[in-house]
Amino acid sequence: MNDDRRVVVLGGLPETADVLKAVLEPRGWEVARLRGESPSSPEPPSLVVLHRDDEPRNPWVGVPTVIIGTAEVPDDDCSNAAPFLAHPFHYAELIQAVDRLLDRAA
C-alpha cells in the first residue's frame, strides 16, 4: 500500500468508493473504504472523503477532507476549509472537489 497516494472514504454507500476507484486508480491512487472500523494503517492518507451522517469524525487531523452529508453545514472545526457536498450530490461534484484538494496537496 502506498500511503503517499491514498484516498480513504469513511462511511457512505459503496458506490462512492467505486466511482473514486474508477477515476483515481488509473492515475496511480489507491482508494479504500472504511465503514465503522478503525484504520488499518497508522499513516494518514492523502485525502479523506467523510460521509458525515455515517462517520461523524475524521480520525486523521490535518488531512484534507471532503465532507458529504445532509443539507446542514457541519459545525466542527474540520469543516471550516473542507468542501461540503449536500445530499443529493452528483459524482462529478465529488470528483472536482477531490481533484482540487489533491492538486493543492501536490
The mean pLDDT values, 10 residues at a time, for the chain of 106 residues are 78 95 96 85 90 88 92 55 88 96 85
pLDDT at 77: 46
Three cell numbers, residue 84:
461540503
What are the sequence ranges of the domains in the chain? 3-105
* pLDDT score recorded for residue 82: 86
State residue 42's pLDDT score. Answer: 76
Gap between the Cα atoms of 31 and 23, Å rounded: 10
- Give this prediction's pTM: 0.86
Q: What pLDDT is stored for residue 55 in this prediction? A: 86
CA distance 23 to 16: 11
For the segment(s) 3-105, the CATH number from 3.10.20.30, 3.40.50.880, 1.10.10.10, 3.40.50.2300 is 3.40.50.2300
Rg (the chain; Cα; Å): 12
